[in-house]
Amino acid sequence: MKYDPIDSQLFVENRRRLAAQLPPGSVAIVHSADIPWRCADGSTRFIQNSDLFYLTGVDQEESMLILWPDAPDPELRERLFVKETSELIAIWEGQKLTRESATTVSGIENVQWNDAFEPAIRRTVPKAERLFLNYNEHARSVSTAHTPDDRFRERIQFLYPEIRCERLAPLLTRLRMEKSDIEIALLQRACDITRDGFARALKFIRPGVKEYEVEAELAHEFLRQGSRGFAYEPIVASGAGNCVLHYLDNDQVCRDGDLLLMDVGAEYANYNADLTRTVPVNGRFTERQRAVYDAVHRIFRACIDDLIRPGVKIREEFHKQAARITEDELIGLGLLDAAEVAKEREDEELPEEKRRYRKWFMHGVSHSLGIDVHDVTAPEAEFVENMVVTVEPGLYLRDEGFGVRLENDIVVRAGGNLDLMADIPIDGDEIESLMAENRS
């Protein structure tokens, strides 16, 4: 593996916290992800089920976890099942976990080969009063994949129709929202790699380069530092592409006078960074570009310094407060009329998506970050201490052919939020100064 070993105490504590949430007589079962297939006999890189990784640290397919916190036999309270390796597997796929190394990674003493999983299920499930089974309940998921967790849940409900099956996802979601010191350190490492990738790209950007060449500079630095690559498909968008929120072509020439928007992040040890910077291709903002840039930067700073704090309702309070600040900035840019905005603000029943500012700012200001780039968040959630979130305001002037988005990753703290990307240049003067320095 490319990343340094993670302290197994992270996974020991995660399981302890989950066990404390389970009612008496409960058993929880979680599976690894499948290897994703492309076509014919080709597969893509394995990406672990986030919940299994959160509970075990195991980064390998065909792995299962059974938690039975109040089992009469202490050896049955935590059981991890991994794929038995062989000389043939080692030749074709490389070294897999042994039972001993799986214990080192996870902190689980009872590790068995996965052919022991079915007998264990037959002996355990009938004794459970409640069975907690996993399912991807992310509000924005549109996946049609039929996962090992899905297949297992369907089979258990068929074989044991009288067993009370419960949802594990709500418990894990609440736990995963609050990050431990170890998790924050891993996220900081991903952010530091992203910082160095941005610094490398900033030296390379100039009129005439292709967007995919900038992407290559970022990828080079990410991989060089032990990241497995991009945390998500990178957005490297110049010119009018700035205004395409999920632009993925990355195939245009960066032209003199254009802005280049880079929404990228490095993945490290399954934890993800998420950065956005918008820079002038020739090193200097036009007057209009700079006015919009500074407006977005002010919204960005207000979110971090004034709006985000533990206890604030994310959707009902934070996003609405950020929207009102955005409206004020759009008035200052001459894009909204102050009287029309005042009239809309009097109408408390008017949905946010119907308000005029949405023409220039049509996405959310923040999302959770962690093992998933859009990490799990409880419905109608509040910011909590040690939650890690992005702050990513933007303004998109499609009629003028450019947009600006800025984004950092922060740890929510009652005494003042911690910016994991505080050392990545963002001030407009600093961006221009660095680009001029690189050209000299």
Give the residue numbers annotated as catalytic, written as ranges: 41, 246, 263, 274, 363, 367, 374, 392, 396, 405, 407
| 214 vs 221: CA distance, rounded Å | 11
Q: Do you know the residue count of the chain? A: 440
Separation in Å, CA 402 to CA 251, 293, 391: 17, 11, 20
Q: SS3 of 169, please?
A: helix
| CB within 8 Å of 20: residues ≥ 6 apart | none
| CB within 8 Å of 145: residues ≥ 6 apart | 34, 36
- Token readout for 403 is 């947009």
* Angle, vertex CA 142, rays to CA 278 and CA 212, nearest 5: 30
| 197 vs 339: CA distance, rounded Å | 44
Q: SS3 of 245, please?
A: coil
Beta bridge partners of 167: 133
303-339: burial string, b at 16+ Cβ within 10 Å, e else: bbeebbbeeeebeeebbebbbebbbbbbbebebbeee
Q: SS3 of 47, please?
A: coil
Q: Tell me, what DSSP letter sits at residue 179?
A: P
